[in-house]
């Protein structure tokens, strides 16, 4: 045997091993997150890197895109995702895009107990927990009190007095909001596809009839915020933090809980099925739920957090805005999103397509 060839073979094997080791180390030192805007502020990412040595790669997304991306890869490409709690069990049943949490690696004492229990209940499948609570908030109404002071519930956005000056999204929350304001409970029909389809068809007709009253269907936050700022829109269905942001700029603009109830959501921590770095994901979760870190993230997002004690560190102005928007009765009347069963979004999607195509 040629000694030179033997040496080359050994060197090639060693170099390959070094390459694999380097790749593995790089993976161990990187956390790939798919999350919402403002949930991973640069200051928090930098502190995490300083404390752990782990780099964080952030991809901004929303519920639909998260599910789409993870479905396309079978749950690969990311180590941590942040879907809303109602968007975990259904997609998991259909596509198997998540893996269960190892609760022994979670510092559960850092969570608000009631919120942790509720989220675990809504994200448990076959006895395994797939999601933990992080940021929570609501959808309701933002109004200019000087020009749209009579708006108090979702159907008021369709009133002739405000023709061409209101806005909603062409998304499922709008259909659900219209259902609640019609005296129906759409969540109670989740397990009855026939009844749910009939209800959504009716709400689709209401939304189509309202279409001419709207300035536009908004599809990004800047479009809506700017519309409210320049007066093109005087009332809209909007998330609470957007309303509080506008209120900070103009006291006449306020976020209010609709008479039929605001829609409440909780964004979670979830592990993609083929994530490569669970250890980094668990480290990020525990780091983020420390009260002082959670308060920084909440300030960035403009919402509240499931971290126990973080509320004591929140901006006093935001706390005051929350208290004004949600007196006790309105807080008790929040309609929290339950888990979405498979097939429900297909029903809603067909209705929304018809609304979009209507004149």
Tens digit of each residue's pLDDT, the chain (359 residues): 555 555 546 555 544 545 544 444 445 699 999 999 999 999 999 999 999 999 999 999 999 999 999 999 999 999 999 999 999 999 999 999 999 999 999 999 999 998 899 899 999 999 999 999 999 999 999 999 999 999 999 999 999 999 999 999 999 999 999 999 999 999 999 999 999 999 999 999 999 999 999 999 998 889 999 999 999 999 999 999 999 999 999 999 999 999 999 999 999 999 999 999 999 999 999 999 999 999 999 999 988 999 999 988 988 888 899 889 999 999 889 999 998 888 899 999 999 999 999 97
CB 288 within 8 Å of CB 294? yes
Distance of CA 27 to the CA centre of its chain: 26
Looking up tokens 């806005």 gives: 167
Distance of CA 75 to the CA centre of its chain: 18
Nearest to 81 by CA among 24, 134, 121: 134
Q: pLDDT tens digits, residue range 114-141? A: 889 989 999 999 999 999 999 999 999 9
**Tell me, what DSSP letter sits at residue 171?**
S
Separation of alpha carbons 62 and 72, rounded Å: 15
**Tell me, what DSSP letter sits at residue 260?**
T
Strands (E), the chain: 30-35, 55-60, 80-81, 98-99, 124-125, 128-129, 132-144, 166-168, 214-217, 235-239, 253-256, 263-269, 271-272, 304-305, 335-336
Domains detected in the chain: 3-136+265-325 (3.40.190.10), 138-264+334-357 (3.40.190.10)
Strands 80-81 and 166-168, how do they pair?
Answer: unpaired
Separation of alpha carbons 173 and 54, rounded Å: 37
CB 54 within 8 Å of CB 283? yes
For the chain, report the end-to-end CA distance as a whole number of angstroms. 82
């Amino acid at each position: 045997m040629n000694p030179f060839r033997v040496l080359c073979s050994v060197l090639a094997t060693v170099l390959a091993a070094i390459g694999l080791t380097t790749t593995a180390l790089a993976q161990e030192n990187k956390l790939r997150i798919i999350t919402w805007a403002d949930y991973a502020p640069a200051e928090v990412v930098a502190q995490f890197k300083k404390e752990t040595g782990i780099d964080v790669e952030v991809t901004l997304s929303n519920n639909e895109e998260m599910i789409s991306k993870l479905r396309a890869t079978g749950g690969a490409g990311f180590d941590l995702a942040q879907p809303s709690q109602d968007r975990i069990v259904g997609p998991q049943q259909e596509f198997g895009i998540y893996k269960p949490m190892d609760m022994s690696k979670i510092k559960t004492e850092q969570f608000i107990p009631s919120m942790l229990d509720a989220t675990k209940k809504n994200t448990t499948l076959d006895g395994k927990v797939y999601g933990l609570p992080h940021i929570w908030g609501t959808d309701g109404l933002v109004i200019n009190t000087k020009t749209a002071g009579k708006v108090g519930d979702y159907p008021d956005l369709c009133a002739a007095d405000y023709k061409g000056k209101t806005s909603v999204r062409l998304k499922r929350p709008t259909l659900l909001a219209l259902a609640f304001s019609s005296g129906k409970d759409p969540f109670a029909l989740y397990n009855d596809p026939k009844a749910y389809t009939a209800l959504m068809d009716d709400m689709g007709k209401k939304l189509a009839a309202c279409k001419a009253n709207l300035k536009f269907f908004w599809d990004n936050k800047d479009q809506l915020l700017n519309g409210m700022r320049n007066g093109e829109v005087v009332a809209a269905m909007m998330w609470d933090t957007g309303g509080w942001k506008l209120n900070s700029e103009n006291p006449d603009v306020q976020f209010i809980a609709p008479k039929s109830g605001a829609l409440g959501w909780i964004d979670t921590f979830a592990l993609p099925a083929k994530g490569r770095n669970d250890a980094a994901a668990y480290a990020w979760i525990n780091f983020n739920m420390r009260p002082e870190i959670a308060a920084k993230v909440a300030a960035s997002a403009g919402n509240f957090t499931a971290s126990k004690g973080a509320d004591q560190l929140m901006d006093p102005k935001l706390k005051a805005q929350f208290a004004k928007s949600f007196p006790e009765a309105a807080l008790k009347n929040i309609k929290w999103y339950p888990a979405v069963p498979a097939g429900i979004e297909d029903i809603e999607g067909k209705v929304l397509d018809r609304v979009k195509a209507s004149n």
